[in-house]
């Protein structure tokens, strides 16, 4: 994936580089790779038959912080259509990381017209400096 430091020669984790496409990209350690242990749900998470799973970050040439869109805003996930179909009007966001995936999902949720709440004590940031940009 374009966001993994190991896939970009000379790139260091937690630094920003310019990709061949011209877009800026934060470099991350390899994580949540499809089919790997890191992409599995926690063993104690109970999934119901009616639960919906929205996949993101599946395009290797563009990152996807938000649960609603890839970072280039050209490709959307199924999140918004699922929420609207189910007549859901409020989104409560938790998880990692507040200053990236949770935060950008919250911004897109609000922009889509959902009442949006980030549960502050159920999320953490990668870095305090980047957290300030989300508040």
Q: Which of 32, 40, 31, 36 is nearest to 5 (CA)?
A: 31
The pTM of this model reads: 0.87
Cα 95 from Cα 41, distance rounded (Å): 13
- Among 44, 63, 82, the domain boundary falls at 63
26 falls within a domain? yes
13 falls within a domain? yes
Q: What is the pLDDT along the chain (135 residues), one digit of tens a residue?
A: 989 999 989 999 999 999 887 888 989 898 988 889 888 999 999 999 999 999 998 888 888 999 999 998 889 999 999 999 999 999 999 999 999 999 999 999 999 999 999 999 999 998 877 777 776
Segment 56-59 long-range contacts (CB within 8 Å, at least 24 positions apart):
57/1, 57/3, 57/32, 58/34
How many domains does the chain fold into? 2
């Amino acid at each position: 994936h374009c966001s993994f430091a190991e896939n970009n020669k000379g790139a260091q984790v937690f630094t920003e580089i310019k990709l061949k496409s011209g877009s800026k990209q934060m470099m991350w350690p390899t994580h949540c790779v499809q089919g790997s242990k890191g992409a599995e749900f926690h063993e104690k998470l109970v999934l119901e038959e009616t639960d919906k799973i929205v996949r993101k970050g599946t395009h290797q040439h563009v990152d996807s912080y938000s649960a609603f869109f890839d970072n280039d805003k050209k490709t959307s996930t199924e999140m918004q259509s699922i929420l609207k179909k189910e007549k859901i009007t409020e989104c409560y966001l938790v998880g990692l990381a507040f200053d990236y995936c949770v935060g950008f999902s919250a911004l897109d949720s609000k922009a889509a017209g959902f009442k949006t709440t980030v549960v502050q004590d159920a999320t953490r940031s990668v870095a305090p400096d980047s957290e300030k940009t989300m508040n």
